[in-house]
Amino acid sequence: MSAAGPTNAFLEVKDVRKQYGAIKAVDGVSFNVGTGEIVGVIGPNGSGKTTLFNSILGQIKPTSGDVTFCDEDITGMSPLELSRRGVGRTFQTLQVFVKLSVRDNLIAAAQEFKGTLMSRLLAKPDAGLGEHADRMIELFRLQHVAALPAGSLSYGQQKLIDIAMAFMPAPRLVLLDEPCAGVNPSLVDQLRELLVELNKSQGGSFVVIEHNMDFIMKLCPHVICMVEGKVLSEGPPATVQANPQVLEAYLGN
Amino acid sequence: MGDFIQLVFSGTATGAIYALAALGFTLLWQAAGVINFAQGEFVMLPAFGMLFFMAMGAPLWLAFLLTCALAMLVLGYGFKRVIVDPLIKHGVIPLVIATLGVSIAVKSMVRAGYSAEAHPFPSPFPTGQFALAGINISYADVGTLLMAGLIVFFLQSFLNKTVTGRAMQAVAQNTDAAKVLGFDVKRMVLYVFLINAVLAVVAALLVTPTYLAKFDMGDSIGQKAFFAAIIGGFNQTRGALLGGVLIGILENVVGFYVSPAYKEGVALVLFLAVILFRPEGLLGKSEERKV
Amino acid sequence: MNARRKTLLLSFGLVVIAVAALFAKRSEVYLLTLTCVYLMATFGLNLTVGYAGQMSLGQAAFFGIGAYIAAIAMKAGVPFLVVLPIAAIACFAVGLALGFPALRVQHHYLAFATLGFNVLVFLIMRNEEKITGGTFGISGIPRPSLFGHELSGAVPFFYFTFVSLILLAALVWWMLRSPWGRAFAALRDNPIRAESLGVNITAYTLLAFAIGAACAGIGGAYYASLVEFIEPGPFHFSTSLLMLLAVIVGGSGRFMGPVVGTIIIILLPEFLRSSNVEWLKFMQKWYLAFFGVAVIALMIWLPGGILSFGDRFKAKRATK
């Protein structure tokens, strides 16, 4: 039973482990996420955060453990199956469709959830998502580059597109892997505000990996600290930050 | 029964030749991510190379050595520097296309620039057969098996017992990890290209006496090498050996007991069966879902 | 050049070709028709290779299947306009059957499966004499009849094929403009991200492959009617390679890419061969050698194909 975790668990991660030979990348991690909650995951490099994400999100199969989402066992489900259940993610490295325009990137992110394969063939070119995409473009302040190919934009802009794409299908659960990495400090606050806004308007739950402490502490009411594949500390940001073991884990490296 | 053993034996010898070409092909894929669609031409060129040196007066063994050196330079180092290095960063497809271009270019250059005819090629082994326990065995088959066997043995020893060889295996299995661990990946990969070139020359030496040197002789060999590599398991070097030998033996057996017309189809049928039912190959390991 | 200008230029080009056919020699019209026929196959291949990012080494097999279906059916009296959908559907179905097990594994296995498939189909065409006529092939294939008139003349058949090609290209264009086109582009650009956004990459890859196969089947039907005699030769694996190279050289994933590439592999060698200039005739022997070298050079300097040159040029201008 975790220290201050939510009781109406939307996402339940139970004792997930991922082993590569003798290396225990994820060594028995359990936590819960409630509906509409924002949970932060921090920890030094190599502590297993991204491996944990990949294990939950079907990119790799966990060695053992269960992941339950809305009372359904989603352990080991493929990314495709997960997307159908309203689970989305962003990646540590930029993953946009470089040759498509920004607008097309956003439409592509949500079009597969509309209708059937055949109905999409016969639909309008924008799959009826034009307005939705435009609103998202406005929210992310990308109007002036909306028609340009995503690959031609700056890193920060592509990062925004990357994140916007994850939210286009209004997912119920989003896992964000280091959304602030490589982003201009002036953009970080804007990003945080965007996430708060999306959390309010869409009502989804977020799990955010991040190294930017300020960002995490301001955004997430509940924080988990991972070290060497295990959960070291969990609770409100202030509590976790004050935990001497957490400080040592960061400084000791 | 005697027939059967004969067929198996000579099939193993032929298969050993396919195995050599398949081995180089697999090594290139594992270590350098190159699917070399010009592998057949890599065997055809040395055949003509050796003929050229012999026409200049060199005995076969000298022509062979000179061609090995030339092949290492052109088909090993040259191929790597000129074609593979500039293209590897663009992904698998441009490189495959480029090797297709090499295949087409080289074939036409030989055809237009040298000859469209088939040329005889001397066998490195004495002709004739001898009898052993009631079975006829040709010297050529024995010689082929010995030579191929020796080469494979040396190669495996090199790969498993020397520092460089083990480094090459590490690079082949996980190039990124090898880089991080400080292996000179570029040099290891170059060695693989050089090895492939030599394997091709040996294959040429062993196969051309039977099939004659012709600009399109690479088509059949290249295809069989490719099939053998996939049948055995593209991510396993031993697979190339098994695949080659299996094709050689089955071709002979089917050709004799069923019909010569179906001989050609053997490699193909095996290949299709493997692709459909055991895509990782007979000896291959099932690959984890690629992230 | 904006879209309007491009459309105008294209329409103008099409009209020029249509008119030129009236004044060209019979052999030239035949060549033009042959190019149109191969273009049907290479447009289809561009879908598989350029838009879905797969490598198909068996397009000539589907081309051949379409041709043999058309040959056998038309000689039995089935009208051409009935044969067409049969050939298309047959190739579509075979494409699905071939792609489905191959894609379950890993995506580069489709390339291997298509290679094996082509070799197999060629062997069957050569050996099953009762159905395909073996190496003797099938001769006396009739031309299609439209409103009671048989299109036996070179020019009428050319117009028929030309219009059909335009219709086929228009259909493909329409499909690519729909959300399917965006899904194909996503799958080609970044299959991992696409999958986590709900794009069923196996389904779309299969679709692109099967549609590409159907296009080749359609082209094959026109081919059989054009040449009036077919044998296995043109459907060998080496033709698949040439078609692949045509798509890549022109610019894979670009709509007009196959046009450039197909012109190079069909018209260029013919042009060299039938030329009156001696050294050009000599070049015909070396055409393939040069083509091979050109492919290598192209991959090194312009991996996006000839039509990607425009992008490079724009990029250079943008950085000035």
Q: What is the pLDDT of residues A90-146, one digit of tens each?
A: 888 889 999 899 999 999 999 999 888 888 888 888 888 999 999 999 999 899 999
**Look-up: residue for tokens 């499966």?**
C113
Give the integer Cα–Cα distance in Å for C157 and C37: 11
Supply the CATH number for residue B88's domain. Answer: 1.10.3470
Amino acid making up residue C116: G
Q: What is the pLDDT of residues B53-79, one digit of tens each?
A: 999 998 999 999 999 999 999 999 999
Residue of chain B whose alpha carbon sits nearest to that of A59: B291
* Chain C adjacent subunits, 3+ CB pairs under 8 A: A, B
- Gap from C33 CA to chain B (nearest CA, Å): 26
Cβ count near C229 (within 10 Å): 13
Is there a contact between A125 and C175 if contact means CB atoms under 8 Å apart?
Answer: no
Q: Is the pLDDT of residue A4 over 60?
A: no
Number of folded domains that form chain B: 1
Amino acid making up residue B283: L
B102 pLDDT band, cuts 50/70/90, is very high
For residue C217 the two structure tokens come to 């089947």
Residues 6+ positions from B78 with CB-CB distance below 8 Å: none
Give the integer Cα–Cα distance in Å for C143 and C133: 19
Cβ count near B3 (within 10 Å): 12
Q: Is the pLDDT of residue A6 over 60?
A: no
Set of chain B residues whose Cβ sits within 8 Å of the Cβ of A61:
288-289
Q: Which residue has the higher pLDDT, C98 or C277?
A: C98
Residue spans of the domains in chain C: they are 25-236
Looking at residues A244-249, what average pLDDT do you find?
82
Rounded-to-5 percentages of helix, strand, coil across chain A: 40, 25, 35
Residues 6+ positions from C217 with CB-CB distance below 8 Å: C62, C63, C65, C66, C69, C87, C88, C90, C91, C92
Q: What is the pLDDT of residues C300-310, one digit of tens each?
A: 888 888 888 77
| Predicted pLDDT of residue C171 | 94
Question: Is residue B212 domain-resident?
Answer: yes
Question: Is residue B209 domain-resident?
Answer: yes
Set of chain A residues whose Cβ sits within 8 Å of the Cβ of B291:
54, 59-60
Cα radius of gyration (chain C): 20
Give the integer Cα–Cα distance in Å for B27 and B199: 11
Question: Is residue B224 domain-resident?
Answer: yes
| Predicted pLDDT of residue C26 | 85
Is there a contact between C293 and B96 if contact means CB atoms under 8 Å apart?
Answer: no
* Pairs of residues, one from chain A and one from chain B, whose beta carbons lie less than 8 Å apart: 8
Give the integer Cα–Cα distance in Å for A133 and A143: 11
pTM above 0.95, yes or no: no
Comparing CA positions, the residue from C47, C13, C23 lying closest to residue C173 is C47
The string of DSSP letters for A199-210 reads HHHH--EEEEE-
Range of the structural domain that residue B231 is part of = 2-277
Is there a contact between C190 and A95 if contact means CB atoms under 8 Å apart?
Answer: yes
Is there a contact between C197 and A96 if contact means CB atoms under 8 Å apart?
Answer: no
| Predicted pLDDT of residue C283 | 75
Q: What is the pLDDT of residues A27-63, one digit of tens each?
A: 889 989 989 999 999 988 888 888 888 888 878 888 8
| Predicted pLDDT of residue C309 | 79
Residue from the list C178, C185, C186 with its beta carbon closest to the beta carbon of A121 = C178
Looking at residues B93-107, what average pLDDT do you find?
90
Give the integer Cα–Cα distance in Å for C168 and B213: 45
| Predicted pLDDT of residue C107 | 61
Question: Is residue B21 domain-resident?
Answer: yes
Q: Does A60 touch chain B (CB under 8 A)?
A: yes
Cβ count near B285 (within 10 Å): 11
Q: Which residue has the higher pLDDT, C264 or B168?
A: C264
Domains of chain A by start residue, with CATH: 1-86+171-253 (3.40.50.300), 95-169 (no CATH)
Is there a contact between B223 and C292 if contact means CB atoms under 8 Å apart?
Answer: no
Picking from A124-128, B89-93, C118-122, C218-222, which range would have the lowest pLDDT averaged per residue? B89-93
Phi and psi based region of residue B142 (left: phi greater than 0; alpha: psi -120 to 50; beta: remaining)? alpha
